[in-house]
Structure 1
Amino acid sequence: MKILHISDLHFPKKLSLFSLRGKAIVGYLSYRLRRKSKHPLVLIAAMVNAISKLEYDALIISGDLTNVSHPGEFENAKEILKPLLTDKTFLIPGNHDRYQKRAIGPSPLFEKTFGEWIGTSLDPNSYIRSKKIGGKLFIGWDSNFAVPRITANGYVAPEIIEKTTSSVKEPYILVCHHPLWNPKTEIESRGHRMLNRSEVVNKLKANPPELYLHGHTHTNWIKLPGPKAPFAIVNSASSTRLSDRSHECGFHMIEIGKSTSYRRFIYSEDKFIETNPIFYEESEGVI
């Protein structure tokens, strides 16, 4: 099976400041002044074009399609992704898709916009989504929550982990926005990381996934299975960002068969080209 994994798309959308409130004003100004130029439209178009030409069985998007979870941003993201939104697509939200409380309820904007591609719920009280694509089971978690201050922390409640490990009875791939492991050169700040990721990793040992796909940290890596996390952890963030000294951007194609192989694609000279994946042993980073 060929799995194409993209993340942290942060599609640009011009918004009126009068349509924003609270921390969304600060977040949007930060995006316009600091980050907009790093996600050029030509790169976004090149990504959609490249994916349209690749052969794959499943397309996984691990969150952050928007910047401040404005209603207009969701519709814009859906329009840009329209050529790629098929029955082979599975999405989960990122922290920027839950940036404001009005994006969460009572009619969550992410679910309202992308409900056709987020799978079915395994629990009426928790975000545990399930979708089978090409015979492979994908499970999606929402590790995000809207807070009034400018932070980007994640959290997965113990009951969600336990419900997943106890109810899933076949090999599965887990998709969540926040990392469970970082290379020592990419340690996250206290205001950016998943707050209980050690607990998540420990509880997942009861029924570990084949792969853990995530985004959030805007660079690419693959952590190979290790003694603490006996599964590969793949980061494809950000797939629409220009690479620089601190960010190795792009996306991955993962092929699962008798063994697992990885391909990585990066933006170079107005198109996406294939390059070498970045592999780490578990001991080269931290949970």
Structure 2
Amino acid sequence: MITLAHISDIHLSPLPKVGMRDLVGKRLTGFLNWKLKRHGELNSETLVRLVEHMQEQEADFTAVTGDLTNLALPGEIERAGRWLQGVGGADKVAVCPGNHDAYVPGALEGAQSIWGDYLKGETLEGQAFPFVRRVGDVAIVSCSSAVPTPPFMAVGRFEDKQAARLRRILKLLGDAGYFRVVLIHHPPNAELQHPSFGLKGHRLFRQVIAEEGAELVLHGHTHRSSIHHIPGKDHEVPVIGVAAASAAQGGTLDDPARYNLFRIEKAGEGWQCTMREFGFQRLGQDIVMRMQMRIY
């Protein structure tokens, strides 16, 4: 049996010291949004408690589906690298980047340099994404939808070349009998698309999954716990989102901070997979198991 933890939308706080030279273009609007609204909705104390609880589960692997930073300032990227080391070694933790990690041109490249092996794995054609991590019979496939966007936009992008590589990877892993978990920051299902924060290429992503199949798709971005399904090759594929890991209780925008824990094991010719969701309730100070359900 393999246990896989899923956490997302870390949004490390507080912001490092910000100079006027840092507040150019989109970072200015993002900084104002943080100061006026988001700093009260996302906090470090919540994140620390949630991660400590998650680490007590001793998962075999942890998937982080993006938005470790807020404005992708160099100081934030460096701090996120240290945070990842606190979560676990790069052999047991993989990151799929979010739009805040690619907030401005060049930011994602900076993250790739500093986060190193947390953003690496087996690849095709020498390209960074998708990359694959294999843990027993489970293969974690990390895609990237993270691109810089204009102010007031938080869209992601999934384009043809990455789709072609993902198709080949899913085919190879499927033929080899792996339980395939695909990570992408922006949700790919039609129900959660929006012109200002959806995924450009969501139909293409779903087409790849429909053609080659997968067992599970995990995402973040919405700051909400959610379960949807998209067509797969042989069966419907669960698409599961998780609330922001730093979302404070009492916030008006998001679900309180949560993480998901999956238990995956081979069962004859098929799979057994159960999901448990842990996190804060709207009321009360304890982290509790909010839900347990069988996926397969």
TM-score scaled to structure 2, two decimals?
A: 0.84
1:220 to 203, 206, 225: 225
Shift of 1:79: 2.5
2:152 to 143, 150, 153: 150
Q: What secondary structure is seen at the aligned counterpart in 1 of 2:37?
A: helix
Q: How many residues are paired up?
A: 274
Distance, in Å, in 2 between the alignment partners of 1:189 and 1:278 is 29
Distance, in Å, in 2 between the alignment partners of 1:150 and 1:225 is 28
CA 1:240–1:277: 2 relative to 1, 3 Å: farther
2:280 to 255, 264, 267: 267
- Which one-letter code corresponds to 2:92 in the other structure? K
The alignment's C-alpha RMSD in Å is 2.4
Shift of 1:182: 5.8
The answer on 1:248 being equivalent to 2:255 is: yes
* 1:114 corresponds to: 115
The answer on 1:72 being equivalent to 2:75 is: yes
* 2:142 corresponds to: 140
1:51 to 51, 54, 59: 54
* 2:94 corresponds to: 90
Retained in 2: the 8 A contact 1:154–1:178? yes
1:211 to 216, 222, 226: 216
Retained in 1: the 8 A contact 2:67–2:98? yes
Q: Deviations over 1:146-167 (max 9, x none)?
A: 1333311111112222222224
Tell me which moved more, 28-37 or 245-254: 245-254
Shift of 1:227: 7.0
Shift of 1:93: 0.7
Distance, in Å, in 2 between the alignment partners of 1:55 and 1:126 is 28
Distance, in Å, in 1 between the alignment partners of 2:93 and 2:151 is 32
Q: What secondary structure is seen at the aligned counterpart in 2 of 1:206?
A: helix
Q: Deviations over 1:167-190 (max 9, x none)?
A: 44123211111101265xxx4431
Retained in 2: the 8 A contact 1:131–1:138? yes
Q: Which 4+ runs in 1 deviate beyond 6 A?
A: none
The answer on 1:7 being equivalent to 2:8 is: yes
Report % sequence identity: 21
Q: What secondary structure is seen at the aligned counterpart in 2 of 1:93?
A: coil
CA 1:164–1:224: 2 relative to 1, 3 Å: closer
Distance, in Å, in 2 between the alignment partners of 1:8 and 1:156 is 19
Shift of 1:25: 1.5
Shift of 1:42: 1.6
Distance, in Å, in 2 between the alignment partners of 1:35 and 1:197 is 27
Retained in 1: the 8 A contact 2:29–2:151? no
Q: What secondary structure is seen at the aligned counterpart in 2 of 1:11?
A: coil
CA 1:165–1:48: 2 relative to 1, 3 Å: same
TM-score scaled to structure 1, two decimals?
A: 0.86
* 2:162 corresponds to: 160
Shift of 1:31: 1.1
